[in-house]
Amino acid sequence: MELQDIAGREVYTFKGMAPSLYHLLRNTAERTPDAVAIVDDWGRKTTFGQLLARVDDLAGYLSANIRVAVGSRVGLLMHADLEFAVALFAISKTGATCVPVPTKYREPEVVSLMKAADLAAIVAGEEFEPWTPELPLRPSEIVFARNVREGYGFSAADGYAPALADPAGDLGSCAIMMFTSGTTSAAKGVCLTNANVVHAAMVYQRLMGTVPEDRCLIPIPIYHVTGLIALLIQFVYVGATTYLHRLFDARRVLACVRDEQITYLHGSPTSFAELLPLRSEFPKLPSVRCMLSGSSYEPVSAMRSFHAWMPTATFQVVYGMTETASPALLFPFDSATSTFAGATGKPVPGVDAKIVDELGHEVPWGETGELLLRGACVTSSYFRHNGGEIEPDGWLHTGDLAYANEEGMVWVVDRKKDMINRGGEKVWCSALEEVLCELDGVSEACVAGMPDKLYGEVPVAAVVRAAGSQISAEDIQAALASRIAHFKIPVAFAFVDKIPQTRGDKPNRSAVRDAVLATLGNQS
């Protein structure tokens, strides 16, 4: 690695990086053209050589017919099919910016986000064709992938490769623009350059030791940084096989792991939590060598359960954001068996971190403050937005509270907005959830703050009971009384079948609060 100037910004990154996502694919296809790149939901196997040919054709088609070029923003509204990958790398070849649009969104939300992105073109799945009259572009600027189940969705682009012989764009070009989770009107477009994304993929490969013989599965949304960058783009860079699932189904995930010898699993704590109850159906999964969990806090008890299930696999925690192209902190070894179990990790190569107080001064070791990040995979800008989240010298305010020890290990304890202030006493949601999940009879838990006339706000929790458990609110409060300070004990509970999630696949604390209030209302 070395210091490099990329688009006027000096970063510490890898030597000889591929200048774009398209070049990543082309390099791999030239190296191993016959290796299987993608197996999608319809069972279609596509080699890297075939993938490159499909990408070249679609890039030529977009360039010749839609006039997609450097500086264009192209929306990508597709499920996790082969065509999604083809479109992603084809857009890269044109030098345009790919704007993945969540397929979970409803039509009005999609239209609002597309307007905010000021798109030049859209590539979409055929199931979204009825939305054409409402989409903010002319029909001639929309390319649909049709007949995916029967064949290949972009057959109209066959033979167009010569229309765009040379790839456009460079390390400083915006390769992907992803909107942060939240309401569409409040979401911010994060501009990730080729340098950001390529660096992120290379970091994952080196830290996780990913090799061409690995096999990963993407059963989580492919339009988020985890599915898109940490998995798909990393595995294209490595030359390893990616299996795509359109929708998450825990039993199907484990069957795929078993039958296809998946070695590499990366998901959210929620998705991992849905796998654990099926352990008896899949008692041995020896192919898995590593698991990574990100997006929100992973309880130590869950990690240890996975270690007992798959003792030869490591279970590691990764922390990142859309703004960091996925990786920012990574636990350097197996968290489940580490003396630092519960820690988030250390900054990945090329990323600097510091923890500051409300005045912006760095705090001493062990003290909690806001986590700031900057580096090679950290965005330097939002799309048409400057709210002060990124300082002029590149430091990104994450909005997360953390502390670190003298060895550089970082513990991310909560979002600033999620910290509960109970009459001046601080309650960290993630720490309280950890204690709750350690109780016999509790499978999952999510904590939220609820308004209170006396204390301002108090902690409440949604709890998923373990199979066969009848644990009650009184049982939990009694068990916690000897474990944590009284002010941390939730005052009310809602027992649910599943922890509510946001569309960004994070715990929905607002929904937890509503569930508790509904429970209290039913009891009155």
Residue 423: count other Cβ atoms within 10 Å of its Cβ. 11
CB 179 within 8 A of CB 185: no
CB 395 within 8 A of CB 373: yes
Mean pLDDT of 50-64: 98
The CA distance from 505 to 339, in Å, is: 29
Q: How many CA atoms lie within 13 A of 314 on its CB side?
A: 17
The confidence score (pLDDT) of residue 426 equals: 79
The confidence score (pLDDT) of residue 207 equals: 97
pLDDT at 517 over 50: yes
The conformation of residue 143, written as its DSSP 8-state character, comes to: E
The CA distance from 242 to 262, in Å, is: 9
Note the pLDDT tens digit of each residue in 218-275.
998 999 999 999 999 999 999 999 999 999 999 999 999 999 999 999 998 878 988 9
Strands 329-330 and 314-319: antiparallel
Alpha helix (H) ranges present in 166-233? 194-208, 225
By CB neighbour count within 10 A (0-12 exposed, 13-18 middle, 19+ buried), where does 518 fall? exposed
pLDDT at 318 over 70: yes
The confidence score (pLDDT) of residue 181 equals: 60
The confidence score (pLDDT) of residue 243 equals: 98
Mean pLDDT of 38-43: 94
Note the pLDDT tens digit of each residue in 454-496.
888 899 999 999 999 999 999 999 999 988 889 899 999 999 9
The confidence score (pLDDT) of residue 4 equals: 95
The confidence score (pLDDT) of residue 524 equals: 56
Q: What φ, ψ does residue 350 adopt, rounded to 5°?
A: 90, 0
Note the pLDDT tens digit of each residue in 176-215.
999 986 444 467 899 999 999 999 999 999 999 999 999 9
Quote helix, strand, coil % in the chain, to nearest 5: 35, 25, 40
The CA distance from 284 to 173, in Å, is: 45
CB 85 within 8 A of CB 38: yes
The confidence score (pLDDT) of residue 183 equals: 42
The confidence score (pLDDT) of residue 35 equals: 98
Residue with token string 């960290």: 428
Average pLDDT over the chain reads: 93
Mean pLDDT of 73-79: 97
The confidence score (pLDDT) of residue 186 equals: 64
pLDDT at 375 over 60: yes
pTM score: 0.87
The confidence score (pLDDT) of residue 380 equals: 92
The CA distance from 34 to 46, in Å, is: 9
CB 208 within 8 A of CB 290: yes
Note the pLDDT tens digit of each residue in 413-463.
877 777 888 887 878 888 899 899 999 999 999 999 999 888 888 999 999
CB contact burial 58-74 (16+ within 10 A = b; e otherwise): bbbbbbebbebeeebbb
Note the pLDDT tens digit of each residue in 81-100.
999 999 999 999 999 999 99
Closest of 370, 362, 366, 368 to residue 407, by C-alpha: 366
Both tokens assigned to 279? 């352990």
Closest of 323, 319, 143, 325 to residue 233, by C-alpha: 325
